[in-house]
Amino acid sequence: MTSNNAAEAEAEAETVEPSAAVVPKSVDDRLIDELVGRAEAEGLQLTGEGGLLQQLTKRLLESALEGVSLEVADRAGSAMVTAHTHP
């Protein structure tokens, strides 16, 4: 391999972008399409009382609150350990 070929190969390697790090939007669209399709097939309304949107919102809020609760508990536990080890 000549030095010119090595330099060209190195330049090409630097310009290649990692495609695996980017999640294509179509994955999200397919998931949404599947949820909507299943809801419609089962006779579930998309909006309104007990509908898909309400159920998804409830699950997302519960997950977010659970994450916050775990973070608060972790911080409180760390504070208690610090208080007991450093009086």
Please report the pLDDT score of residue 6 as a whole number.
56
What is this structure's pTM?
A: 0.49
Q: Which domain holds residue 38?
A: 21-85
Domain count, the chain: 1
- Please, which residues have CB within 8 angstroms of residue 1's CB and are 6 or more apart in sequence? 9
More reliable by pLDDT, 60 or 7: 60
| 18-56: pLDDT as tens digits | 455 666 676 688 899 999 999 999 999 999 999 999 999
Considering the domain boundaries, does residue 49 fall inside one? yes
Considering the domain boundaries, does residue 12 fall inside one? no
Considering the domain boundaries, does residue 45 fall inside one? yes
SS3 for 12-27, per residue? HHHHCCCCCCCCCHHH
Considering the domain boundaries, does residue 8 fall inside one? no
Considering the domain boundaries, does residue 67 fall inside one? yes
Tokens 């939007």 correspond to: 25
Q: How confident is the model at residue 8 (pLDDT cuts 50, 70, 90)?
A: low
Question: Is the pLDDT at 58 greater than 60, yes or no?
Answer: yes
Considering the domain boundaries, does residue 50 fall inside one? yes
